[in-house]
Amino acid sequence: MRKIQPLQSRAYEHIRDMVLTNQFRPNEIYSETKISKEIGVSRTPTRDAIQRLSQEGFIDIIPSKGFMLHQMSPKDVEDTFQVRSAIECYCTLLITKQHDTARAQALLEELEGLLGKQREVLETSHDIQAFIQHDFAFHLKIVEFAGNSVFSSIFENYTYKIKRLAGLSLSHPQRMEDTLAEHVAIHEAMKRGDVKNIYETTLFHMDTPKGINLEDVLGE
């Protein structure tokens, strides 16, 4: 028999999905009451879900008014890229060290397919959201290779911030092209077992958009 999902979890998943699928517009305040009616639950589980999402950095609560998408700060940028650099630099190094194993070869083939999808977007629609989906999948596959549930959980918790910051940086001229080139460099370094350079190659890919994001956030 299927277990009924608690109302708070139902509200949490619904609002979180709306955030991740860009159904909320930046700088717009949303009503807790209206969202409760849309979900079909009372205000209490919705309020609890909103509190949890606020603590996780998805939204900001506006007292007596409602909530809005979380406004990125310089600390958000620094924290996000520090976490990503720590995890992803380790994971790419791990893959590079094991590049000649069947498991690493299978991953590298998957990553090559994702590079092809990124290249297709770049050469056709130039759609930022489509590119972000393939970009995120590329990085997620690298993290999952470690088989570390803590890494995967942390990365999942940063999904919104990673995608939001990616959208900001990719809106800059030439950034989509540069991102693909950096992905290719990481892929090639892992593929040839370049242990000496893979860490710096990955770190460069973290530091470049971080600089762009900091300029954007500070300029707002």
How much is the pLDDT for 5? Answer: 62
Q: What pTM did the predictor assign?
A: 0.86
d(CA 13, CA 108): 32
Cβ partners under 8 Å of residue 117, min gap 6? 134
d(CA 162, CA 132): 9
The distance from CA 213 to its chain's CA centroid, rounded to whole angstroms, is 14
Please report which residue ranges of 98-174 form alpha helices under DSSP H. Answer: 102-123, 128-144, 149-157, 159-170
pLDDT along the chain (220 residues), means of 10: 67 91 90 92 92 91 93 94 98 98 98 98 96 97 98 91 94 97 98 98 98 89
d(CA 54, CA 199): 34
Taking only the tens place, the pLDDT of each residue in 94-137 is 999 999 999 999 999 999 999 999 999 999 999 999 999 999 99
